[in-house]
């Protein structure tokens, strides 16, 4: 994978690698796999993503924290239940 990233980086940095023949020569000289080379030449992004096993879409989700009042109520309920359990055990 790192070799493929290096190839793509070189293509982006070197303006002489903007035509198909120059790209083919680069891929041959770097001993890139045939499938990766075909995906690069065909500009097939989905095939390249699949072969490199990368995700195109990364999703992040956030959940809001509980309100302070709700947390206090939960603590009070838990402490009441604990006291009831202690009373039931001791009798």
Task: Give residue 16's pLDDT.
Answer: 86
Predicted TM-score (pTM) of this structure: 0.53
Task: Give residue 68's pLDDT.
Answer: 61
Task: Give residue 56's pLDDT.
Answer: 65
Residues of the chain with pLDDT under 50: none
Residues 55, 70 contacting (CB under 8 angstroms): no
How far is residue 85's CA from residue 70's CA, in Å, rounded to a whole number?
23
Please name the helix (run of DSSP H) or strand (run of DSSP E) that holds residue 67, with its range, or none: none
């Amino acid at each position: 994978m790192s070799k493929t990233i290096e190839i793509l980086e070189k293509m982006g940095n070197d303006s002489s690698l903007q035509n198909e023949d120059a790209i083919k020569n680069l891929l041959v000289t770097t001993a890139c796999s045939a499938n990766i080379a075909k995906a690069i030449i065909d500009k097939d992004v989905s095939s390249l993503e699949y072969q490199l096993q990368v995700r195109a879409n990364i999703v992040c989700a956030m959940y809001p924290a509980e309100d302070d009042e709700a947390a206090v109520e939960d603590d009070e309920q838990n402490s009441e239940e604990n006291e009831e359990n202690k009373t039931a055990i001791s009798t």
